[in-house]
Chain A
Amino acid sequence: MTISRFLGCLLISYSPLIALFLKFILKDSKLLIISLSGAFFWMLSIFLSSILWFVVSPWKKEHIWTIIVSFIFQEVVRFLCFKLWNKLETSINLLSRINKQKRKINYILGSIACGVGFGFGYVLVMHTGVLTNVIGPADLYTTKCNMSLFVLNSFYAQAFGLLNVIWTSIMFLSIRNYTKKKLKGKPKRKYLVYLFVSIISHLVESLILLVNSCTASLLVLYLILAGLIILLVKLIVDTMNEKKNEYNLLKQNQESSSNEDKNENFSQEINFLDDNKSEENEKNKTDILNFEDEDEDEDDDEDDEIEKNDDLDEEEEEEEVN
C-alpha cells in the first residue's frame, strides 16, 4: 500500500489532537510539558493493565475483562494526574509570578492539554502501532464493512482521541469545582453527576468496541461524543459562572471591609484571578475572567500579525513592569 494511505489514516486518527495541539498547546511550553506527561501517564496505565493481562492467563481470550481492567486503570491514572496537576499548579503559578511573566496557566487549558496527552497516547498505542503494517501490498479487509480495516480503525481512534480530551476535562473541572473552597454556598452535587456520567460513558464506549459492527457502533460513538461535548460546554459555562460569582463576591467583600486577611484565605484559590500589580488589574480586566491565555490579543485570525503583536505586547508588558 502506499505511503499516502499511511499518512491519511495517521492524520485522520490524530486530527482533533493535532488541531488542538496547533491551536492551543504549542503556544505555551508549560502546556506542552503537561500534555507529554499526560501521554506518559496514560501509557503507564496501559502498561499496568497489560501486566495484569499477561499474568492472568484466562483473560487472554476474553476481551471484556481486559477492557474493564484497562478502563479502571485509565480512570485511576486520570485521577492521579489530577492530583499531581493540583500540586503542580500552585508551584507553576508561583514560578511564573517570580519570573515576572504575565502568563499563567489557565486551568481549563491545562486540563485540555492533559486530555490531549491522554488521547495522543491512546491513538498511538491502539492505532498507530497497527498502522505500521499498512505499508506493503496487503490489506486487512472485511466485505461486511466494505472498507479497509485500517481506515475504519482510524475513525475509531479519532473519536477516542477526542473523547479522552473531553473525559479529562470533565473530570478535572468537575472535581475542582466540587472541592474548591467557596466564599459562599455549598459545593454543588451536579459536578459529581457530571463526573459520574463521564466515567460511565468511558465504560460504555469501551464496551461498544466489543460489538462487531462497522459503522453502526461508530455512529453510536459519535453520538455519545456529541452528548459529552454538550456536557463539557455546560460544565465550562458553570465554571465560568462560578468564577464570575466568586469575583463579584470578592469585590463585594473588598468593598464592604478592608480586611484583607479574610481574602487572603481565598487568595490561593483565586490567585490566578489576581495579579500582583493592581494597576494592571484595572487596565486589563480581561485578566480576571481569564478564559483564555493572555496571548489573546496576539492570537488573531491572521498569522502574520501574530509576530508583530507578540513583540508589541512583550514590549508593552516590559514597559508596564518598568
Chain B
Amino acid sequence: MKIIKQAINLILVLLVFSRVISGLGIDLDEEMYETRDVSTAFRLLDFDTYYGSDSGLDERSGSLHLILNDEDLEDLEKDSPSTKVIIVTIHKYLTNSSLEIFAKEDSKVEGVVVLHGTDQEGSVDTAPDHFSPFSKIPQQFSGLHTSDETTWEWNPNSNLVFYTKWNFPIVYLSLEEESSEILKHAQENKEKDKTKYGISITGQMYGQYDSKVCLRRKYCDPIGGKSVYSFLGGQYNDSKPTTLVHCSIDSISMFPNYSPGYDSDSSSIAVLLAVFDALTDTAKTGAGMDWTSTDRQIMFGFWEGEKWGHLGSKRFLKEVEEFKCTDYSSGKKSCETPYRYSLQFTEIDLNNIDESIELTQIGLPSTDLNAYHLYAHVERNDKEDESIELMQYVDDVSKNSSSDSIQVTTISQASTSTPGIPPSSTESFIQQNSDIVSIVLSDFNEHFTNPYYGSVFDNGDLKNITQLVSVANLIARTIYAKALGITNLTTIPLELVVDESLLETLIDCLVTDNHCEFYENYFDSEYGEEYVTNYPGVYSENTGRLQSIFIRNFLQTKTFPASFGSCESDSDCKEDEDGDDIYADCIKKKCYKRAAYYHQAYSQDIEYNTDSSKYEIDSKASNVWTESRWANLSCKSFLFADTTKDTLLFALGLAFIIIYYIIYFLFRKFSIKKFFNVKSLKQN
C-alpha cells in the first residue's frame, strides 16, 4: 500500500516536472547555430532512373572534414573518423571513385560540401584542370546519332559523376560569400584535437524511381522554359527562302543554381545579339536598308532546354507542323489551352527554311591567339556537298573582310573522322527536314576544347572578347551578304562591324551578373539572384527565365525602336495609336510592336492534361527529363558536440544520486548514534 502511495506521489511530481520543463525551454538556437547559404546539387530523373543527391528526411550533421589532396583521401579510406563527418572538398574530388569512398557504409560520411572560388588568403586552389560531369556524348538520345550508331566521344573529359545517385547531400559553397567561414572551420578542425566545428544539412528531394512514376505522383516537374525567335525586319514572309541563324541558350552544371555556361552557350547568345544590333543599325548597313524587301529572309532562333534532349527545337518543329489549340482566346490571337501567347508559329512554312547556320561553343580561342579560328561541321548526308558550299561562302566572306582589315575569324571544315555535326539544335532540324543545308560553327574540331563543359567553371574566366568580336563580325557580314544575295562580297559595307563594348556588356550580363546596369533598359525591376544560372529550370506556361525575357525584349526593341503609348501589362497594348488592332508587348511600361516571339519549350513527348492536372508521357517517348521537387534546403554551422563520453555522463549522474543517498543515509545513522547513543532504534 505504501509503495503505491509513494509511487503515486512520485508520478505526480514527474508530471508536474515535465509540464514545467516543456514550457520552460530557453531557445539558444541563435547563439549555437549560424545559418549558411549553400546551394544543393540536383536530383534529376530520367526515363528509367534518377540521378543526384538527397539528404533524406532527417537532418544530416557531422563535423567538418577537409580533403584537399590525395593524402587526405587515403587517410579517410584507411581509418574512418570517430564521429560522423561532412566532407569539405574541391571539385577535383567530385569523382565517382571518391564519392564511392564516401558512400561506404562505415565511412561515417553524412554529406559533402564542394568549394568553389578563391578564399581571401588564397590558400585553397579550388579549380581543377578539367571538370565535366556530363555525358561524353551529350544529347545522345535525342540527336541524330543514337547510341547504337556511334561511340564518338565529343566530350572525352567527362568524369560522368552526374550519372550516379547518392544518399547523402552534396552542396555547393562559394568561397566569395560569407559562408566561406566553413572552410576556416574545416581547416581548424584539422589542426586541433578537441573542438570540432560541424554543420548540418537538410534538403529532402521528393522524386523517386523515374520520370514516369514521379510525374504521376506529382513529385517532380518537367524541365523547360521559353525559346525566342525573330525575323530580321520584323515581318514574316512565308514564300521567301529563309536562313536560320541560331544557338541554344541553356547550360548545365552539377549545381543548377550556379550554371554560368560561358562557352556553352552564352557566348553564342552574346554574339548573335550583337550581330542583330549591328544589322538593325542603319548607320552600319546603309540608310536605305529594308530587311523586309530582301531576297532571302533571315530568322534568328534561341532555343531553350537543348541540353535536356533538344526540348526547344523539337517542340518548335512539332508545333509548327501540328498544333491543336483546344481553347482559343477572343479574336484567336492566342491560345488559352495549351497556353501559347502568340500563334505566329502556326504560319511558318518549314520547307522554306532551307539553310541553317548554328553557333555552339564559339567562345574559346585556339592556342594561337593571333589567329582566331572556327571549325565548320557538316552532316554527312545528301546535303553534305551543299553544306560545304555554304561553308565556303562563309569562308569567302571571311577572306574578303580580312583583306579589308576587319577583324574576322577564319573558317575551315572540321575533321572528317567525326560522324557529322556535334550535339546541337541543328540535329532536330535535320531530323525534321533532311533537305536543309546546314553548318555548325564551333571552336573545337574533333572533341570539345572546353575543359569545363557543363560545369560551374565555364564562367568566362577564359573568355576572349577579340575572339567573340571576330566571330560576330563574320556572322553579321555573312548574313548581310546572304540576305541580299550578294556575289561581289566587296560590296559589304565596311562599317558593318559589331559594337565591341556591347559585346562585353552582354557577356557580363549573361554570364556574370543578373543585376547589371544594361538590363535596366529592358526590365522594370531586378530579378532573381545576382549570380547567373543558365539552367532552364522547371517548365511553366507563363514564366520564363530571365535570359529568355531579355533576349525577346532586346530583339523587339531593336527591330521597332519606336514605342507607343504606356502600359502596365501586355493586355494594354492591344491597339495602336490609331485604334487599330495590333500585336504588341509591354516592355518597360511602353508598348512595342511585336517582332520577337516566345515559344514554349518542353519535351515533345509530354502534354499537360488539365483534367487530371498531371503531365502525361507519350507511349513512344524515349527520354524525358524531370526535376525533383524539394523541401527547402537549410544548412547550419555550429560547434560539433563530442558525444563519445555521453554514456559516461549518464552513469556519472546516476552515481551522484547514489553517492548522495549514501551520504544522507550515513549522516542519519551517525546522528542517531550520537544523539540517542544507540546503534539502532530497533533495540528499544
Per-residue CB contact flags for chain B residues 1-19 toward chain A (1 = under 8 Å, else 0) read: 1110110011001001100
Contact of B6 among A2, A26, A140 (CB under 8 A): A26
Per-residue CB contact flags for chain A residues 3-40 toward chain B (1 = under 8 Å, else 0) read: 01101111110011011111110110100100010000
Contact of A124 among B24, B59, B660, B672 (CB under 8 A): B24
Which residues of A lie under 8 Å from residue B638 when comparing CB positions?
Answer: 137-139
B209, CB-defined interface residue at 8 Å: no
Which residues of B lie under 8 Å from residue A306 when comparing CB positions?
Answer: 2
Interface residues of A in 277-303 (CB under 8 A from B): 284-286, 289, 291-292, 296-297, 300
Which one of B177-185, B215-223, B525-533, B676-684 is at the A interface?
B676-684
Beyond A26-B9, A124-B21, A306-B2, is A133–B28 a contact (Cβ under 8 Å)? yes
Chain A contact patch, size range: 35 or more
B287, CB-defined interface residue at 8 Å: no
Contact of A2 among B20, B646, B681, B682 (CB under 8 A): B646
CB distance from A153 to the nearest CB of B (A): 12
- Find out whether the CB atom of A16 lies under 8 angstroms from the CB atom of B641: no
Interface residues of A in 142-183 (CB under 8 A from B): 143, 146, 148, 151, 158
In the bound assembly, the distance between CA atoms of A161 and B664 in angstroms comes to 15
A268, CB-defined interface residue at 8 Å: no
A310, CB-defined interface residue at 8 Å: yes
Q: Which residue of A lies closest to B647 (CB)?
A: A4
In the bound assembly, the distance between CA atoms of A1 and B38 in angstroms comes to 24
Chain B contact patch, size range: 35 or more
CB distance from A169 to the nearest CB of B (A): 13
B142, CB-defined interface residue at 8 Å: no
Q: Which residue of A lies closest to B648 (CB)?
A: A8
- Find out whether the CB atom of A29 lies under 8 angstroms from the CB atom of B639: no
B494, CB-defined interface residue at 8 Å: no
Q: Which of A1, A19, A22, A146 has the most CB of B within 10 A?
A: A19
- Find out whether the CB atom of B676 lies under 8 angstroms from the CB atom of A143: no
CB distance from B471 to the nearest CB of A (A): 53
Contact of B653 among A11, A27, A141, A236 (CB under 8 A): A11
Which residues of A lie under 8 Å from residue B59 when comparing CB positions?
Answer: 137
In the bound assembly, the distance between CA atoms of A22 and B662 in angstroms comes to 12
CB distance from B29 to the nearest CB of A (A): 7
Which residues of A lie under 8 Å from residue B650 when comparing CB positions?
Answer: 4-5, 7-8, 11
Beyond A138-B640, A240-B675, is A307–B2 a contact (Cβ under 8 Å)? yes
In the bound assembly, the distance between CA atoms of A151 and B649 in angstroms comes to 9
Which residues of A lie under 8 Å from residue B6 when comparing CB positions?
Answer: 26-27
In the bound assembly, the distance between CA atoms of A291 and B672 in angstroms comes to 8
CB distance from A136 to the nearest CB of B (A): 8
**Can you list 12 pairs linking A and B with CB atoms under 8 Å apart?**
A2-B646, A9-B653, A12-B656, A15-B653, A15-B660, A26-B9, A128-B21, A133-B25, A138-B639, A141-B639, A151-B649, A286-B684
10 cross-chain pairs, A with B, having the tightest CB-CB distances, nearest first: A11-B653, A8-B649, A138-B638, A139-B641, A19-B660, A15-B656, A132-B25, A137-B61, A8-B650, A19-B661
For the complex with contacts A5-B641, A297-B681, 8 further pairs of A-B residues with Cβ separation under 8 Å are A4-B650, A5-B650, A12-B656, A16-B656, A124-B21, A133-B25, A148-B642, A306-B2
